[in-house]
Amino acid sequence: NAGVTQTPKFQVLKTGQSMTLQCAQDMNHNSMYWYRQDPGMGLRLIYYSASEGTTDKGEVPNGYNVSRLNKREFSLRLESAAPSQTSVYFCASSGGLTGLEAFFGQGTRLTVV
């Protein structure tokens, strides 16, 4: 019963490098999300996907792109990493009987130097 799986768990990038954070869920949920968590700022939504084939911006989308590859997978791409993107990134999904309860992955700790 894996739930929401994120890779990698840790990453260090140099300014200007690119990378993709991967997320997969095995709960057959329609909706998936990417959040970032910063000290003093709490959790903020970057992008979300209400269903396969759709994506929408959240509160802090600048500098990021996303792809909803299929129902299971939702990736987050940093095209040109900046130190301001140093954060912990969480993927989440929601669905189930009520479609409302959200489940989170274990997070990716990203440092941009």
Binding site for another protein (CB under 8 A): 4, 31, 33, 40, 42-43, 45, 48, 50, 58, 90, 92-94, 98-107, 109
Q: Which residues of 66-84 are buried (b: 16+ CB within 10 A; e: fewer)?
A: bebeebbbbbbebeebeee
Closest CB to another protein among residues 14, 62: 62
Closest CB to another protein among residues 17, 104: 104
Q: At closest approach, how far in Å is the CB of 61 from another protein?
A: 12
Report the residue count for the chain.
113
